[in-house]
Each structure stands twice: as structure tokens, then as C-alpha cells.
Amino acid sequence: MLTALTSTSAENTTTYGFYPDRDNIKLFTLRIPISVVTPKDPDVSEQGKVPHKKPDSINVKIENDQGYICAEEKDSHNLEINGLPCDQCMNGKLLVTIETKKKDEILSKTRTILSEESKRAEICSLQPEIKKQGEDLIVTSPKQKPEDGCRWVFRDAGGLIGCCYSNRDYYTETGGCDPRMQSSACRKGSEIPILVEEENSCTLRINNLKPADSGNYLSKFKYETPGFKKVLIVKGDGKIISKASVLIIWLCSFSLLGLLTVIYLCTKRTAICTLVKENLRKLSNSEKVKTEPQDQLEILNPDHVA
């Protein structure tokens, strides 16, 4: 028979953290502190008792004060719960229900009420910064720890392109970027962003912005979720047409020409058939006219034998 330890408490956001979603400004992430799901070791008065079992997964449900389910995970191994919608879960209290599990056995169950709203409101009010092509971007993020280096991750609006920029060497230091994980579309050579490290902050500078630089700039990572996010939209000046745009225009023009040709041939099919038949008839009559005089000459020829 399964047993569960149930408790209810109200904790502030110094233990539970709210963070922006990597790609979508309309979503946010809740990070569960590891202390909530880690069993406590027996104290001195409990010596001799069987140690608590360590969970291998958790069930998580997050509801707002109206009963709307903001997020729900089953058999999860992740303490970061993503995809909470701002429109439903930004305001009011949140009830977080967590069940720790060992295979199919429920080890404990906790219910925590989160009432602090300011961090959620800050994340959900994040709006893109609009820049023009050719301008520069300068953005500064606080560090997670003073000893951390500068590390920024770029993700385009669709989440298909990922780039990482760091002033740490991946192979010899912590916090570096794996060069094998870089997208081929990332800035290279002299166009690589400039990183300036201070004691408690890290500044990213990108010169000569392009529309391809539009997206999310993320920093201050603890796990997979960023603690700082900058959303950028770069508007083109309309003077430069990329090779891809030229190719698309050419293909569209070629397709349109082919479509118009097919439509024209279909509408003129009857007239073309009539014209072809008329030409064939004239050609046949012409051949007949040429053979008749020859036959007459053969008849008038005195050497002709009947």
C-alpha cells in the first residue's frame, strides 16, 4: 500500500525561482529548489532508523487561485517547469503540488503557496527592443557569481539557431562554449560579439546589426533556464536583398510564367487544334495538286504504254 507524507506551507520566492522562457516572451519558468525534493538524513535522535528513500522522479502540478492548471509534469527528472502562461499565471497566488516518487511508490507530497507576484510581472512585461540595421547593440547582465566568466547564448525567434559566446576556454575552463554546438549561421571572425567582463556584470556588444541578429540574448544561467533575457528585433533598411530573397523571387517568377503558359495553352486549345488541322489539310491538298499533273504528262507521253 502506498503511503504519502503531505504538508502545506507558504514559502517566498527566495526558495522557488521564476525565470524567463528561452524563446517565448508570453511564457515563464518555475524552478523548484532541490531541498524540496531531497529527503533529510536522520538526526541524532533518529539513529538506528531506516534512512529515507531517495526519489528518482517527481510529479508536479501548478495551479492559479482560480483552479487553472498553469503546468503539469508526470515522472519528471527536471526541477525546472517550463511553459507557464503569463496571461493566466502572472497574477495571484500559485499552488505548487509536488509528489516525490521511487519507481511507482509515492514517497512524499507537498503543497506550497507562492504569493509573490513582482518577479512574474517583471518577466511577463518584457518587450522587444527594436534596432535598425547597421546600429550597435550594448547590453549588460549581472553575473550569477563574481567568479563566473562572461557567457551569452543567442537563440533566433524560431528557436532553430543557437549560438554561444564566452570569454572562457571550453576545454580548460568552466563556463566556456562547446564549438561543436555552434550553428553555422552564428557570427564568425571579426563579426563575433565583444564581451567585457567586470566583477559583478558582463557586457555584450554587437556592431553593425543585421536582421539575422533578431532573437533572444540569454545570460546568467544556473541550469538550462536563463536568469537574464534581452529580446531584440532588427529592422532592415530595404536596400540589401539577400541571396535567398533573390532565389525566392526568381523561383516565384519562373513558376508564375509556367502557370500563365499552361493557362494560355488551355484557353487556346481549340484554336490551336483547328489551326493544326487546317495546316495538315492544306499540306495534303498541296501534295495532291503536285501528283495530278505528273499523271497527266505520263498519259500524253507517246512512249507511254497503256
Q: What digits encode the pLDDT tens for the residues 136-159?
A: 999 999 887 777 789 899 999 877
Element containing residue 30 per DSSP (H, E): strand 27-31
In this structure, of 91-105, 171-185, 235-249, the range with the lowest mean pLDDT score is 235-249
Confidence of residue 238 (pLDDT cuts 50, 70, 90): low
Residue 13 pLDDT > 90: no
Q: How confident is the model at residue 246 (pLDDT cuts 50, 70, 90)?
A: low
Calculate helix-pair angle for 243-267, 269-300, nearest 10 degrees: 60
Q: How many CB atoms lie within 10 A of CB 299?
A: 8
**Residue 251's pLDDT is what?**
76
Cell numbers for 30: 518555475
Is 103 within 8 Å of 205 (Cβ atoms)? no
- The residue type at 188: K
In terms of Cα–Cα distance, which of 61, 80, 59 is closest to 71? 61
pLDDT in the model for residue 296: 47
The model's confidence at residue 127, banded by pLDDT at 50, 70 and 90, is: very high
Q: Which three cell numbers stand for residue 288?
A: 495532291
153-176 pLDDT tens trace: 999 987 789 999 999 999 988 888
Answer whether residue 5 shows pLDDT above 50: no
CB 141 within 8 A of CB 202: yes
- The span from the CA of 208 to the CA of 211, in Å, is 10
Domains and CATH numbers, the chain: 6-40+49-122 (2.60.40), 127-235 (2.60.40.10)
Nearest to 165 by CA among 180, 148, 182: 182
Q: Which residue has the higher pLDDT, 221 or 219?
A: 219
pLDDT for position 21: 92
Model confidence pTM above 0.85: no
What order of strands is seen across the sheet that includes strand 129-132? Answer: 129-132, 226-235, 215-221, 151-156, 162-166
Q: Give the pLDDT confidence of 116-126 residue by residue, as tens digits.
A: 899 999 999 99
As a whole number of angstroms, the distance between CA 49 and CA 42 comes to 7
The average pLDDT across 253-260 equals: 75
Ranking 41-45, 62-66, 88-92, 94-98 by mean pLDDT, the lowest is 41-45
Q: Report how far residue 121's alpha carbon sits from residue 20's, in angstroms, rounded to the nearest whole number.
A: 11
